[in-house]
Structure 1
Amino acid sequence: MKVFLLSFGKINVLEPNIAEIIIDDGVVLDEFMVITYRKLLQSHLVKPFSLLINKEHGYSYTFGAQLSMGEINDGLEFRAVVVYSQSAEMATQIVMNVNKHNNWKIQIFRERQLAIDWLHQIQNKKSAM
Structure 2
Amino acid sequence: MKVFLLPFGKINLLESNIAEIIINDGVVLDESMVIKYRNILQSHLETPFSLLINKEHGYSYTFDAQTTMGELDDVIAFRAVVVYSKSAEMATQILMNINKNNNWKIKIFRERQLAIDWLLQNQNNKTAM
Q: Same fold (TM over 0.5)?
A: yes
Per-residue deviation, 1:109:
0.2
| Larger mean Cα displacement after TM superposition, 72-81 or 14-23 | 72-81
The Cα shift of 1:126 comes to 1.8
**Please, what is the CA RMSD of the aligned residues?**
1.0
Question: How many angstroms does 1:74 deviate by?
Answer: 3.7
* TM-score (norm: length of structure 1): 0.96
Structure 1 gap ranges (5+) = none
Counterpart in the other structure of 1:48:
48
Give identity over the alignment, percent.
79
Residue number in structure 1 paired with 2:104: 104
Contact 1:2/1:13 (8 A) holds in 2: yes
TM-score, normalization: structure 2?
Answer: 0.96
How many matched pairs? Answer: 127
Match of 1:70 in 2: 70
Moved over 3 A (4+): none
Gaps of 5+ in 2: none
In 2, are the aligned partners of 1:55 and 1:82 still within 8 Å (CA)? yes
Task: String of CA shifts for 1:53-86, please: whole Å, max 9, x gaps.
Answer: 0000000000111101111224111000000000
Secondary structure (helix, strand or coil) at the match of 1:68 reads: helix
Distance 2:67 2:126 in 1: 27
Q: 1:42·1:74 contact (CA, 8 Å) conserved in 2?
A: no
